[in-house]
Amino acid sequence: MEHYRFFHTSSAVLIVILVSTLMLAAQAPKSARTPSSGATNADRSAGHRIGFDDARRLLDGEREGNLNHRPSSYSRTQLRDGRILELFYPIAATARTGARRRPAGIPGYGLLYATAADYEEAHRPRHILEELLPNGASFIGEIPMLIERLEKRLRTGVRRLDYTRASLRRIDAYLAAYRRTHTTADADPAFFQELTAYYGEVMRRELAAEWRIHQESIAQKHVQAVPNLIFTGAGGKRELKPWSTVLNVLYNEDVRGLTITAAGDADLRAARQ
């Protein structure tokens, strides 16, 4: 999901910004404009952004678009020195101000990657937890420490969170204030890990479950360790993903305002069916 912020801007300018942004997204290849779940701007850091004219100069004597080419729109070229250059062409547009039209648009630019491997790394599919929980394999052993950090964040005092439903309401009070200064686009790995640890422990105790690290393969090129709960329910062994619930509470704009208490009630109902 893309997020935009507009402040005190005329409607005409808003329209051209939005239209131009959508046009820019449309001209980029899918891999460049639709990152898989969990991808962030940091995921594209291997690509160094340069001006359009500088990018064009790099193509002197090269066969532009030897990897991908849509004339006057987009090209991806492997240069003779092994670097990869993505070139996004300028977009021309017009904006209406009253009865008048004026030119508006978006300048072109290039993304330069030091090696083909850097390009592949920047564009590979990513697990949604890769940035939020990079050390998933060690997460279970860190749960007590993470909960202590959450208590410090909430200023509850040590061991004051007692793993009850009432304690989730205390977290909801913190979340209400947190949301006044953070959008769902503001990823905070530390808070995510702390809340996942505590929420998971509440669910573990309620369901007599146990933590289990599950290895999830992404496009056969990356394995992400994810901490799930295994419990016995209707039909035998079942699995609950506390991190998925916390992800929904913190970062899903469609359900912004969802409380961790309500999410926990829903998880327990589903687990006991």
- DSSP characters over 56-93: HHHTTTS-TTSSEEETTTEEEEE-TTS-EEEEE--EEE
Q: What is the pLDDT of residue 96?
A: 67
Q: What is the pLDDT of residue 24?
A: 39
Mean pLDDT of 51-74: 95
Residue 104: which H helix or E strand, with range? strand 100-106
Residue 238: which H helix or E strand, with range? strand 236-240
Residue 232 confidence (pLDDT) above 60: yes
Mean pLDDT of 151-167: 87
Residue 178 confidence (pLDDT) above 70: yes
pLDDT digits (tens, 9 = 90+) for 76-126: 999 999 999 999 999 887 666 667 777 767 889 999 999 999 998 888 888
Is the pTM of the predicted complex or chain greater than 0.75? no
Q: What is the pLDDT of residue 56?
A: 96
Residue 229 confidence (pLDDT) above 90: yes
Q: Which two tokens stand for residue 32?
A: 């460049």
Instruction: Enumerate the β-bridge partners of residue 39.
Output: none
Mean pLDDT of 240-265: 94
Residue 262 CA from chain centroid, whole number = 23
